[in-house]
């Protein structure tokens, strides 16, 4: 989600070329910021020397009050005002220089009048700054439309810097881009959205990668996991809009991070597009508090779109948690707003689709060619030994595999580089413009096909501690038994997942609560040697025996039910490998199996030493067939080092999918002192 320092450097250079002079959209030096703020305050109280201009100003101020423009929805949007609990307005913009009036952040009327005054400024503008009319072109368009007055007739200024910038963008339409979930970075767990600014000349020449993109992101320079999570959840980071060449993000997402891009073209009129771009210029002066769960990239992009097209009424339909996926669904729900959709597959998806397309002989040749470290391989003669293969298909997949592995940090010897050049030469000699193969990306599902984030469930079952009823609530987002369509493939993203149970004859109790559970089971293969991992943090129920145990020695106690339950804090982390036949046309035919090794820590006074910690090894098997999915796991946990007995836990789960919002699950669970059978219905919303 965050641009690299190199990306920012390139952006600044490209913008300076486009605008004719250096103008960094991201930040100003402190001295320039102070001067800008000082002049904004002066201009917001401007009084014309000319009696004619003074009369005109007075008339416009009275007219704006008469029309109550400060209450107009478009004005409220332009200043990013939000209603507080007391029913008053407060702007989400944190930058003081975004406002001409000292009270402009909380007073729409004061800021409207200060803006009108600033547009009458006729004094000489400091060379580092620009006239208010040039700083706020969207505000100018709003006031001109409602007041029917041409402010440029007063100041006689020319906004060359703004016009050069706008002309360099030359935007004729916009596209919303969704970058798929990326479980290797906490900032990208939920995916990411950005806006692509389309130019006619690039669309016609098939060079749309040269278009510009706009990204809203947090300026998160502290990557300490604890502070990162805390600041991200509490608004401790500052969010800004960034402008960049689109190909930089395609390179970052498609090639480096293995993320598919879904592009949705938005239907905006020429006037609406003009307002959108005008306000983007104004946003160069704005900073916001960034919240990972709601005031994030998707929220700000929707807010920006609403300024251009107020009748969309987008934000009022948002929930407490705002995910990129949900915003895609929201835009698609608006009639005729999205009129074109296409996928830009990642480099890995390109390779995978080619391997799925290959027959057995072509795959055999591919695996031989991708052994880049084999110095004795005669490429020419090898290909001649496979006369019936589609050479362009095999060579394309081989060359892409080299690029993919190089992007992943593999250092190839000089012989491999020479082999790559040889393969490139062979590929260039294959005649014909049309490919001998056609690819399908059916295994990549669009984000709008995903299930809703929230979940509630009702179930019940039987255990050796008695029958029980069960209620579950999950704040977000996805577990392995949910439908995988449009969601993180082979992964779990679970936040605030709680279970309340009522055992027979007992009071209801909170039996488990997961603050966060992240599981990534990316298949390991010759092409992508990526580890799987698990992180789980929260509380669990542990069943204890009333018999005194010490290093496995048991002293029996005669009692009808020798077991009792306790809630314990829990932290677990593990790493390992996942294996699947993902390159088969019927993948995965045999399901997926994962082997992880890690450690678990639990704390409760009922443990022998107040806590238990130890290594574990676990195996997870999953297989999806139609609306059914089977999930099984076995965990062997070693606790003897902390003077607690070792445990072996096993579970079998079966899910049936009625729709993307309704599931039925049957689960069997067994551990040292506890066994249960559970049937539950899950509703997702």
Structure tokens given for 540 = 């669990």
Query: What is the tens place of the pLDDT at every residue in 288-341?
Result: 999 988 899 999 999 999 999 988 888 888 888 889 999 999 999 998 899 999
- Give the mean model confidence (pLDDT) for residues 601-610: 93
Query: What is the tens place of the pLDDT at every residue in 228-237?
Result: 778 888 888 9
Type and span of the H or E element at 73? helix 73-78
Cβ partners under 8 Å of residue 352, min gap 6: 443, 582, 583
- Give the mean model confidence (pLDDT) for residues 514-521: 94
Structure tokens given for 32 = 């320039």
pLDDT given for residue 657 in this prediction: 97
Cβ proximity of 296 and 290 under 8 Å: yes
pLDDT given for residue 4 in this prediction: 39
- Give the mean model confidence (pLDDT) for residues 105-127: 96
pLDDT bracket for residue 372 (50, 70, 90): confident
pLDDT tops 50 at residue 134: yes
Query: Burial code of 163-196, b = ≥16 C-beta within 10 A, e = fewer?
Result: eebbeebbbebbbbbbbbbbbeebbbbbbbbbbb
CA distances from 142 to 34, 149, 273, 302 (A): 27, 11, 14, 20
C-alpha 615/C-alpha 544 separation (Å) is 20
Q: In 3-state terms, the chain is what percent helix, strand and coil (to 5)?
A: 35, 30, 35
Beta-strand runs (E) in 112-191 = 173-179
Of 550, 604, 258, nearest in space to 404 by CA: 258
- Report the percentage of the chain scoring pLDDT > 90: 72
C-alpha 289/C-alpha 41 separation (Å) is 23
Cβ proximity of 426 and 379 under 8 Å: yes
- Report the percentage of the chain scoring pLDDT > 70: 92
Structure tokens given for 170 = 């030359």
- 563-580 vs 592-603, strand pairing mode: antiparallel
C-alpha 493/C-alpha 324 separation (Å) is 14
- DSSP for 217-276 reads EE------HHHHHHHHHHT-EEEEEEEEEHHHHHIIIIIIS---EEEEEE---HHHHHHH
pLDDT given for residue 5 in this prediction: 39
CA distances from 275 to 138, 279, 503, 523 (A): 6, 6, 60, 46
* β-sheet bridge partners, residue 595: 577, 619
Cβ partners under 8 Å of residue 249, min gap 6: 177, 179, 194, 213, 215
pLDDT tops 70 at residue 133: yes
pLDDT given for residue 560 in this prediction: 60
User: What's the mean pLDDT when you consider all of the chain?
Assistant: 89
Question: First CA to last CA across the chain, in angstroms?
Answer: 26
Of 362, 454, 496, 523, nearest in space to 685 by CA: 454
pLDDT tops 70 at residue 616: yes
- Give the mean model confidence (pLDDT) for residues 638-657: 95
Q: Is it true that the peptide bond before 477 is cis, omega within 30 degrees of 0?
A: yes
pTM of the model: 0.89
pLDDT tops 70 at residue 20: no
pLDDT given for residue 290 in this prediction: 94
pLDDT bracket for residue 224 (50, 70, 90): low
Cα–Cα–Cα angle for 237, 241, 245, nearest 5°?
130
pLDDT bracket for residue 548 (50, 70, 90): low
- Give the mean model confidence (pLDDT) for residues 634-641: 95
pLDDT given for residue 234 in this prediction: 86
C-alpha 162/C-alpha 130 separation (Å) is 9
Cβ proximity of 159 and 134 under 8 Å: yes
Query: What is the tens place of the pLDDT at every residue in 30-62?
Result: 788 889 999 999 999 999 999 999 999 999 999
pLDDT bracket for residue 171 (50, 70, 90): very high
Of 666, 675, 616, 661, nearest in space to 641 by CA: 616
Structure tokens given for 611 = 């806590």
Q: What's the sign of the alpha-carbon dihedral 213, 214, 215, 221?
A: positive
Structure tokens given for 30 = 């402190």
pLDDT tops 60 at residue 552: no
Which residue has better confidence, 19 or 508?
A: 508
pLDDT given for residue 223 in this prediction: 62
pLDDT given for residue 522 in this prediction: 92
pLDDT tops 80 at residue 187: no
pLDDT tops 90 at residue 386: no
pLDDT bracket for residue 22 (50, 70, 90): very low
Query: What is the tens place of the pLDDT at every residue in 459-483?
Result: 999 999 999 999 999 998 999 999 9
Structure tokens given for 602 = 């639990």
- Give the mean model confidence (pLDDT) for residues 363-391: 83
Q: How far is Cα of residue 111 from the mean position of the Cα atoms in its chain?
A: 34
C-alpha 528/C-alpha 224 separation (Å) is 27
pLDDT tops 60 at residue 175: yes
Beta-strand runs (E) in 563-627 = 563-580, 592-603, 611-625
pLDDT bracket for residue 547 (50, 70, 90): low
């Amino acid at each position: 989600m965050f641009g690299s320092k190199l990306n920012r450097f390139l952006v600044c250079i490209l913008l300076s070329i486009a605008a004719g002079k250096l103008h960094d959209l991201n930040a100003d030096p402190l001295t320039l910021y102070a001067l800008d703020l000082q002049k904004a305050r002066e201009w917001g109280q401007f009084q014309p020397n000319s009696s004619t201009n003074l009369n005109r100003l007075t008339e416009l101020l009275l007219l704006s009050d008469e029309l109550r423009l400060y209450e107009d929805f478009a004005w409220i949007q332009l200043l990013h005002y939000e209603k507080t609990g007391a029913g008053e307005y407060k702007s989400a913009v944190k930058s003081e220089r975004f406002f001409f009036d000292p009270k402009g952040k909380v007073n729409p009327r004061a800021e409207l009048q200060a803006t009108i005054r600033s547009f009458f400024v006729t004094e000489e503008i400091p060379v580092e700054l620009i006239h208010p009319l040039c700083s706020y072109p969207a505000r100018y368009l709003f006031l001109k439309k409602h007041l029917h007055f041409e402010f440029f007739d007063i100041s006689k200024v020319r906004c060359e810097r703004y016009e050069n910038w706008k002309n360099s963008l030359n935007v004729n339409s916009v596209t919303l881009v969704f970058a798929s979930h990326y479980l290797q970075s906490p900032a990208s767990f939920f995916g990411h959205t950005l806006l692509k600014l389309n130019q006619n000349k690039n669309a016609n020449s098939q060079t749309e990668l040269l278009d510009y993109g706009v990204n809203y992101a947090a300026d998160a320079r502290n990557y300490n996991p604890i502070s990162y999570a805390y600041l991200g959840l509490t608004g401790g980071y500052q969010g800004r809009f960034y402008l960049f060449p689109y190909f930089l993000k395609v390179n970052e997402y498609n090639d480096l991070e293995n993320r598919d891009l879904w592009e949705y073209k938005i239907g905006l009129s020429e006037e609406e597009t003009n307002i959108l771009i005008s306000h983007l210029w104004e946003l160069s002066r704005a900073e916001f508090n960034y919240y990972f769960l709601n005031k994030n990239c998707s929220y700000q992009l929707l807010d920006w779109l609403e300024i251009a097209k107020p009748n969309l009424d987008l934000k009022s339909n948002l929930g407490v948690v705002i995910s990129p996926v949900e915003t895609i669904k929201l835009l698609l729900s608006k009639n005729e707003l999205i009129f074109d959709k296409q996928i830009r597959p990642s480099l890995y998806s390109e390779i995978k689709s080619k391997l799925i397309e290959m027959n057995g002989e072509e795959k055999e040749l591919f695996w031989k060619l991708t052994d880049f470290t084999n110095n004795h391989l005669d490429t020419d003669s090898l290909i001649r030994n496979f006369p019936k293969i589609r050479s362009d298909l095999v060579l394309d997949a081989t060359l892409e595999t080299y690029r993919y592995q190089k992007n992943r940090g593999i250092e190839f010897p000089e012989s491999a580089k020479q082999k790559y050049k040889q393969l490139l030469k062979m590929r260039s000699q294959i005649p014909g413009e049309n490919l001998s193969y056609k690819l399908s990306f059916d295994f990549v599902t669009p984000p709008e096909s995903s299930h809703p984030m929230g979940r509630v469930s009702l179930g019940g079952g039987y255990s050796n501690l008695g029958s029980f009823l069960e209620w579950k609530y999950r704040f977000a987002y996805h577990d392995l038994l949910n439908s995988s369509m449009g969601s993180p493939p082979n992964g779990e993203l679970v936040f605030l997942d709680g279970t309340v149970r009522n055992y027979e004859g007992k009071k209801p109790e909170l039996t488990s609560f997961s603050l966060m559970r992240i599981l990534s089971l990316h298949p390991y293969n010759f092409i992508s040697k990526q580890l799987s991992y698990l992180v789980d943090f929260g509380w669990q129920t542990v069943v204890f025996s009333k018999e005194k145990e010490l290093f496995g020695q048991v002293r029996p106690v005669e009692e009808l039910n020798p077991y009792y339950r306790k809630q314990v804090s829990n932290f677990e982390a593990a790493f390992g490998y996942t294996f699947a036949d993902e390159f088969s046309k019927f993948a995965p035919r045999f399901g997926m199996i994962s082997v992880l090794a890690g450690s678990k820590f639990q704390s409760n006074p009922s443990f022998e030493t107040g806590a238990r910690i130890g290594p574990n090894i676990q195996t997870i098997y999953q297989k999806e067939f139609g609306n059914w999915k089977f999930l099984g796991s076995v965990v062997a946990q070693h606790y003897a080092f902390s003077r607690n007995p070792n445990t072996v836990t096993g579970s079998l789960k079966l899910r049936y999918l009625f729709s993307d919002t309704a599931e039925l699950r049957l689960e069997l669970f067994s551990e040292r002192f506890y066994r249960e059978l559970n049937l539950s219905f899950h509703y997702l919303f």
